[in-house]
Amino acid sequence: MPKTIVSYKAKILQVNKSLEATLTVYRDALTFVIEIVNCEWCSLSSLMPKEQYNTVEKLIHTTKQNKAKYDFDAKFYKFPSYLRRNIVATAIGKVSSYRSNVDNYLLSGNKKHNPPSLNLKHYEFPALYKGNMFVQVRENEFKIKAYKNNDWVWVHVRLRQQDINYFKKKNLVSYYSPVLEKRGRSFYLRFPFGYKKTKLSGVPASRQTVLAVDLGYNHSAVCSIMRSNGTVTGRKFINQPVEKDQMGHLLNRLKVKQAQGGRYAENSKLWARINNLNRAISEQTANDIVDYAVQNKVDVIVFEYLNLKGKVYGSKKQKLHLWKKRFVYQLCLRKAHFAGIRVSPVNPANTSKLAFDGTGKVKRDEKNYSLCTFQSGKQYSTDLNASYNIGARYFIRELKKAVSEKKWSDCLAKVPDLQQRTQCTLSTLISFHVALAV
């Protein structure tokens, strides 16, 4: 079974300043080799990839049988052999890409744009190869090779216990070779590991159970478990009231700052807090959606395909810009595929405007926008009503694929609303299911 490679970033505690020097030396060495590869490209370009690699290795590294043309060994004393080989492969890739871009630029004949340039500075991170540059000492203590006092020495580092517990949970007892990263002022070890690809559900639409999700800013998400005959077997409201209250306070502070102007309007730290909180809300929403889907053993998670560019004005604009609906969708897509669950989008038109019972358009409550009133006088949750219609739209689309043209014509005669799917509701699905059974 093929594997999907993912990674986990574990924070290093009590960071040693030598780790900063390690990144600097690694990047300087990469810049040095990129210049060499670019100078020698005329002779390298005609070689096979493995021959290119061996040739560059001989150009920069002196052995008993080889005298290097360039003084890499003198400039980067005792540079680890595994890192040197990693740099050679990276440099060849960078220069090869640059040369291809130049060739494409010349062939296009477009002189309006500047020609491609070779970037010598790259913010790459070194891989710490297991056994040679990375060794586990205890459960949460490791040794890594780092550049310190003009030499490459072993440095002891510790990871957080919560990261070690995560590795145990995922059965990652034998660690893969990590990558040393720096984010902000903190250093991390990013461990890659493989998941066996789970076969996605292949159940026919008539026997599927779906999770219909309505993403909104009244509730983060409202979910409904639905079957192909229109039966709703479960509902879940996902919200983070504490975090959203904090978000409201931060946005109010931001408005005051923006109104002040001048040096008092500096708000980068405030924006950082808002963005971090917004991301946390989105991640928690995605986790809750997929966990609820796994718990109920659904086959498909159905979302609206939302695109609000240029359609929102007034006081709601800032809230909706912070509403990371596409980010939640992408997170759910990855997590659901690991669990063997499909994800499918549907047209969002009129899902909130039409009542699920087929009585027509709803009227939103002016004081509480999350409530709506049907034409029959019934008051209902706007987001829950929308989730019913989202699930119904999915089933109508999928069931139509499985019926013959003659049967579809018969169903259209009995259920005219099927003609225009943007007018379909849960009641339309129920009527369609009855028509199919006849």
In contact, 257 and 264? CB cutoff 8 Å: yes
pLDDT of the residue at 319: 53
Task: Label each residue of 211-249 as H, E or C.
Answer: EEEEECCCCCEEEEEEECCCCEEEEEEECCHHHHHHHHH
For residues 395 and 210, is the Cβ–Cβ distance under 8 A?
yes
Which residues on adjacent β-strands are paired with residue 159? 12
Domain assignments of the chain as residue spans, ordered by start: 1-197, 205-437
pTM of the model: 0.72
- Cβ 269 vs Cβ 180: under 8 Å: no
Separation of alpha carbons 274 and 268, rounded Å: 10
pLDDT for position 16: 67
- Report whether 281 contacts 244 (CB < 8 A): yes
Collapsed DSSP state (helix, strand, coil) of residue 180? strand
pLDDT of residue 438: 75
Spatial distance between the Cα atoms of 338 and 193, rounded to a whole number of angstroms: 13
Q: Backbone phi, then psi, for 122, in 5-degree steps? A: -130, 135
Give the other-Cβ count within 10 Å of 388's Cβ. 26
pLDDT of the residue at 61: 92
Using DSSP's 3-state secondary structure scheme, residue 126 falls into coil
Q: Looking at residue 69, what is its pLDDT? A: 92
CATH for 205-437 (1.10.10.60, 3.40.190.10, 3.30.420.140, 3.40.50.720): 3.30.420.140
Interatomic CA distance for residues 315 and 146, integer angstroms: 52
Q: What was the pLDDT predicted at 381? A: 92
- Say if CB 175 and CB 143 are below 8 A apart: no
DSSP-based three-state secondary structure for 183: strand
Per-residue pLDDT of the chain (438 residues; tens, 9 = 90+): 456 677 888 999 877 677 899 999 999 999 999 999 999 999 998 999 899 999 999 999 999 899 999 999 999 989 999 999 999 999 999 999 999 999 998 888 777 788 889 999 999 999 999 888 999 888 888 999 999 888 999 999 999 999 888 888 776 655 678 999 998 888 999 988 776 666 777 888 889 999 999 988 678 999 999 999 999 999 999 999 999 899 889 888 888 887 877 665 667 888 888 889 989 999 999 999 999 999 999 999 999 987 655 444 444 445 545 678 888 999 999 889 888 899 999 998 889 999 999 999 999 888 888 899 999 889 999 999 999 999 999 999 999 998 999 999 999 999 998 988 889 999 999 999 999 887
Among residues 207, 196, 221, the alpha carbon closest in space to that of 337 is found at: 196
Residue 33's SS3 state is helix
E strands present in 276-353: 300-304, 342-346
pLDDT at 324: 80
- Amino acid sitting at position 270: L
CA dist 326 → 69, 136, 148, 275, 321 (Å): 52, 39, 44, 15, 11
CA torsion through residues 379, 382, 388, 389, sign: positive
Nearest to 287 by CA among 334, 225, 234: 334
